[in-house]
Structure 1
Amino acid sequence: MTAMPDFSLCRSASVLIVDDEPGMRQFLEKALDKHFGLVETAGSIDQAETLRQRYHFDLMILDVRMPGRSGIEWHEALQDPNRHSDVIFMTAYAELETAIQAIRVGAADFILKPFRLEQMMNAILRVLKRRQLLRENFLLRREVSQYLELENPMVGDSPAMKRLETVIQRVAPTPSAVLIEGESGTGKDLVARALHQHSGRQGPYVPVNCGAIAPDLLEAELFGHTRGAFTGANKARDGLFSFASGGTLFLDEIGELPLAMQSKLLRVLEQKAVRPVGGEQEVKVDVRIVAATNRQLSEEVKVGRFREDLYFRLNVLTLTLPPLRERSEDIPQLAHYFSRRLSRELGLEAVPFSHEDLRAMQGHHWTGNIRELKNFIERCILLGRLPLEELVRDDNTDSGQTGYPSCWPLDEVERRHILQVLDACDGNKSAAARQLGISRKTLDRKLAGWSGEDSDSDHASDQEQEA
């Protein structure tokens, strides 16, 4: 028995049918309307160009011989580098020269009339599968370049980590939304990736940092936009919701979303459809949402900075990640893991850790959690030694004192603490200022005063990612 074709790829796709025969247009429109998110028809190239300027089409089914201009002469569409559409040509004339011309202008397929509907549907599915592969390759390149940190596995055998792994295994196969809470640097992105890897979903994993995208661009980044929707929108573009269709969309720093954007996100989650900026048609999406924040969203709701209805929509299940200081038994394993990985990446020898070294690391507070530990191990490898002077213990078991050495002046304690928090926040000044409880302007003024003393502040400024 022949298996039924999988038309799931068509749900979020748009198609334009161009043929001067009304019967052919009606035949294809009726057949495709039940599978595609958007189906439009045109009886001439001029009508088709008008529609192309209004919508972005993933696929065009185009008759070669048309009154006026032929399909092969539709240069606006076939040679537009900014708005690419795959094209399936149709013709009733089996001429070799015509087929060669169609291939030269970029035809994805070529079908002779009359044809069976099955032939056309198979051709469409081949084209869309190739388009999906190109999309996944794009996402892979984007993921590797922007989220290399996600390659780290979840390391640790502490009770907290074992409980977390158990919950992930149970929850991952479900479509339910998951909210991940925890301090900055605790590995929320790794948990999101683990949820996707164990979900069984066939679509891609698409991470996006909501705090790193300018608010006026966030809607277009998530939902896509049409050509001319705003200044600089020279071509139509799919949003990350569309790219993630069939997979998982990880919304990191969800607490940074402006209230107006929260309202639009809520509607998308409820309707399971997106409307590109400047567009009129909604496109269905099948996306599993995982969100993360280093804020207490319940408190943000109380003070009016986060919508209560969106919070309840996301808070189907909350996973709270423990800070590194509450699972210090994992620090030796993490230190050895980062030492092996970073020594390979840097091309330098790993620094051996003694039992006393590991105990010193376990006694440190690690304000920036795993991210700070990784940066510390990297410095060890670069310096060729373990800078124990940076590891200030937070108990009085050895030294009889707490905090920084009593011989340090107050301004040096402040300087070291601010630079440590900035390093833990990966150079993000806005995030560091929030954690320190000071304004961004105050932080900038202090860093400017130290710029001639310590290159760390220059390094942090170079790495800054505005939230």
Structure 2
Amino acid sequence: MTAATPVNHPEEPFVEAFGGWQERSILIVDDEPGMRSFLQRTLVGRCSRVETVESVEAANVLLGQYHFDLIILDNSLPGKSGVDWLQEIRELGLHNDVVLITAFADLETAIRALRAGAADFLLKPFRVNQILSAIGRCFDRAHLRRENFILRRELDTHVDLAGVDGLIGASAALQPIREAIKRLATVPSTVLITGESGTGKEIAARAMHNLSNRSGNHFVPVNCGAVAPEIIESELFGHVKGAFSGAASSREGLFFYAQGGTLFLDEVAELPLTMQVKLLRVLEEKKIRPVGAEREIPVDVRVIAATNRNVEEAVQEGRFRQDLYYRLNVVQLHMPPLRERSEDIPALAEYFVRQLAHQLGVAAKKPDNNLFSALANYSWPGNVRELRNLIERWLILGNISDVTAATNTGTASANGDVTLEAVEKQHILKILAEVGGNKTEAGRRLGISRKTLERKCAEWGV
């Protein structure tokens, strides 16, 4: 086997693409000491971790202990070819990018390698810039693949941030939240964010991520209540080809896309009990097992969870595992409802006007005292999300009838005040009537999940 010889060359511009390789890790599998030494010397100053092994058996051990962003794999190995081993790890659920290197220009081997999932194919001997180019292409493709995945999810959820922490307003209720977010961003601890629907739990989670040392990697949100119980495991952990009916190919899960970053589990209390057991194991062992896979995969992901439910009550009723609750609730952050920070409504309304006017392509109107008066007199069961939806309707329709209708109707309590429950019920039923009973659309307008809406309707006998 011919060893490659490093040559002097100008630094490749792609090395700095997407923030460089400083957080990347590479595993080199080659039985030739000279090649292992050459590749390690070439890469050790560029990447956070570079490991070298001489056999697939040793590689299997390291893959069970650490996550590697890339594997550089020699095809001519003792006992088993690199292509055969690549096919095996793909069947086991490992999706690491692989650059196959070989001393023989064999078209059949190249085709087999690409079919097995190799990202690139290099012929020995090669120059330093050739291997760096191949690695750069792999990292760029992996980054773009994850970036596209995250952007599609964010377009679906319509999450918008204002400033670094995303929190708008200067009320006393927000100050301890801001301080807590800054402190929690500096530690890797699991956080449980509680609060009513629409209070900004995801925004707080994003702020922790953006202010942390994981901000160079992705923030991946998932609404546990919106994913069907039968596919939630595959959604989080991925699956291998043939794992279940319809699994025509292997697929990475959300933990894969959050590698090195943060996974946000919204409505975590909606997870099925069987999934709660598996999530607890992942949190404790830092490894996932794709559906149908025979081995576990190490992951480096910070988990932040959120719920609008009373989790302690769910634990007492047996709907949520106590051990998982303790594991998630290392630190708890409670988001205040909008009615407890009503002084922030003008700032929020003006921000939403600027944001939505641009999105809708309409003129940005300045909220007047009549609008602010109507907003201040409302109890906001849907919180900040409901306020955003109302401002959108106001910009489109040009009136505040929705607000005044919601604040001027309801059932009085014993002392003559309109109860929060009555106002909430009146407003929800009004929106349901407007959309012809379509709970999905009603939930979108109200800023609450369909499951929450169905639960309330069941309580009211609707």
TM-score (norm 1): 0.73
1:145 positional shift: 1.7
1:351 positional shift: 3.7
Letter of the 1:348 counterpart: V
Q: Pairwise mapping of residues 374-393 of structure 1 onto structure 2 (< 5 A)? A: 374-387=388-401, 388-392=403-407
Letter of the 1:54 counterpart: E
Task: Give the 3 Å change call, closer, same or farther, for CA 338–26 of structure 1 in structure 2.
Answer: closer
**Which of 163, 166, 180 is the matching residue for 1:167?**
180
Task: Give the 3 Å change call, closer, same or farther, for CA 128–415 of structure 1 in structure 2.
Answer: closer
**Which of 44, 63, 82 is the matching residue for 2:102?**
63
Q: Pairwise mapping of residues 9-408 of structure 1 onto structure 2 (< 5 A)? A: 9-10=24-25, 27=54, 29=56, 36-37=63-64, 43-44=80-81, 47=84, 51=88, 54-55=91-92, 56-57=94-95, 58-63=97-102, 65=104, 70-74=108-112, 77-78=113-114, 80=115, 84-91=117-124, 111=126, 125-126=135-136, 128-152=138-162, 153-201=166-214, 202-387=216-401, 388-392=403-407, 402-403=417-418
Residue aligned with 1:289, SS: strand
User: Contact 2:255–2:263 at 8 Å: present in 1 too?
Assistant: yes
User: Contact 2:223–2:266 at 8 Å: present in 1 too?
Assistant: yes
Identical aligned residues as a percent: 37
1:358 positional shift: 0.8
| 1:405-438: CA deviation from partner (whole Å, max 9, x where unpaired) | xxxxxx9888437659846644743221223453
Task: Give the 3 Å change call, closer, same or farther, for CA 321–367 of structure 1 in structure 2.
Answer: same
**In 2: Cα distance, 1:29 partner to 1:318 partner:** 44
User: Contact 2:29–2:55 at 8 Å: present in 1 too?
Assistant: no
| 1:175-210: CA deviation from partner (whole Å, max 9, x where unpaired) | 001100011111111101001011121321111111
Letter of the 2:265 counterpart: L
| 1:245-286: CA deviation from partner (whole Å, max 9, x where unpaired) | 111110001010000000000000000011111111211111
**In 2: Cα distance, 1:370 partner to 1:412 partner:** 19
Q: Which residue number corresponds to residue 438 of structure 1?
A: 459
Q: Which residue number corresponds to residue 4 of structure 2?
A: none
Letter of the 1:389 counterpart: T
1:84 positional shift: 4.1
**In 1: Cα distance, 2:363 partner to 2:416 partner:** 35
1:222 positional shift: 0.6
**In 1: Cα distance, 2:218 partner to 2:322 partner:** 29
User: Contact 1:18–1:44 at 8 Å: present in 2 too?
Assistant: no
**In 2: Cα distance, 1:231 partner to 1:373 partner:** 43
**In 1: Cα distance, 2:182 partner to 2:303 partner:** 17
TM-score (norm 2): 0.74
Residue aligned with 2:146, SS: helix
* Ranges in structure 1 where 5+ consecutive residues have no aligned partner: 93-110, 113-117, 405-410, 444-467
Letter of the 1:349 counterpart: A
**Runs (4+) off by over 4 Å:** 5-8, 15-19, 23-26, 28-42, 118-125, 393-396, 411-414, 417-425
**In 1: Cα distance, 2:131 partner to 2:58 partner:** 9
**In 2: Cα distance, 1:350 partner to 1:383 partner:** 13
**In 2: Cα distance, 1:132 partner to 1:319 partner:** 33
* Corresponding residue pairs, total: 395
- Comparing 353-362 and 218-227, the one that deviates more: 353-362
Q: Which residue number corresponds to residue 107 of structure 1?
A: none
| 1:13-47: CA deviation from partner (whole Å, max 9, x where unpaired) | 8x88799xxx9997365886686458896745884
Task: Give the 3 Å change call, closer, same or farther, for CA 228–319 of structure 1 in structure 2.
Answer: same
**In 2: Cα distance, 1:46 partner to 1:86 partner:** 12
User: Contact 2:239–2:251 at 8 Å: present in 1 too?
Assistant: yes
- Comparing 129-138 and 151-160, the one that deviates more: 129-138
User: Contact 2:98–2:117 at 8 Å: present in 1 too?
Assistant: no
Residue aligned with 1:159, SS: coil
**In 1: Cα distance, 2:84 partner to 2:157 partner:** 43
1:213 positional shift: 0.9
Task: Give the 3 Å change call, closer, same or farther, for CA 88–311 of structure 1 in structure 2.
Answer: same
- Comparing 130-139 and 254-263, the one that deviates more: 130-139
**In 2: Cα distance, 1:229 partner to 1:73 partner:** 25
